[in-house]
Structures are given as C-alpha cells and as structure tokens.
Copies of this chain bind each other. A is one copy, B any other.
Amino acid sequence: MKMIMAVIQDKDSNRLMNALVEHNFRATKLASTGGFLKSGNTTFMIGTEDVRVQKALDIIKDNCQHRQQLVAPVSPMGGNADSYVPYPVEVEVGGATVFVLPIEHFHQF
C-alpha cells in the first residue's frame, strides 16, 4: 500500500475526484491553502495498492497538468476602449505536486 498526497488547484478538484472514482480509487480531500501552487489549492490523500500507484499518477497528470489556457477577453464595462484587447489571452493553470509515501499498515474498520 502507498499513500499519495497530491496538492492541486481548486479548479481541477472536481474533475480529478470524478476521474479517480471512475477508476475505483478512493480519495479524501484536505482543505489547504497557498504554498506549492499559487492560488487556492486542495490536497488529495489517496490510499492505493502498489500496483495501482502509476495509474493514479496518470490520472492526476491527465486532469491537473500544468497547461496554458485560452481565456476569452471580457468586453470592458463602460471602460476605455483603448485598453480592450479583442482576442483570447493565454493564462497558466493547473499543475500538481505529488508525494508517494510508504504505508506500513492499512486498516479498515
């Protein structure tokens, strides 16, 4: 058994949980702030058998990878038309910091 602690962005949280459940992983979310990632984040605690660690890592990577995202510009509300950029801009989102820890015992009561 291993414990996977994954710090991810809040915005990837629901998608990751759904993907984990779909692949029969069980995860608990810990409320967390700051640190490894800039904005609001969530820490997933996932317990799994050794042979399934790589699959869990793949799911985290697929759903939380650091990536560029195109954001459609918002038209300025009564604003200065000079500062309005009428094309999508790229922002950086996502990312995950993942620790795999050894477990000596696992119990379910």
Cβ-neighbour of A35 out of B27, B41, B60, B102 (below 8 A): B27
Residues 52-69 of chain A, each 1 if its beta carbon lies under 8 Å from chain B, else 0 = 010001001100111000
With contacts A47-B97, A109-B96 taken as known, whether A32 is within 8 angstroms of B30 at the C-beta atoms is: yes
Q: State in angstroms the CA–CA spacing of A98 and B41 once bound together.
A: 23
Q: How far is the CB of A70 from chain B (nearest CB, A)?
A: 20
Which of the four size classes fits the interface of chain A? 35 or more
Cβ-defined contact, B36 with A29, below 8 A: no
Most chain B CB inside 10 Å of its own CB: which residue of A98, A99, A100, A109 = A109
The B-contacting residues of A in range 90-106, CB under 8 angstroms, are 94-106
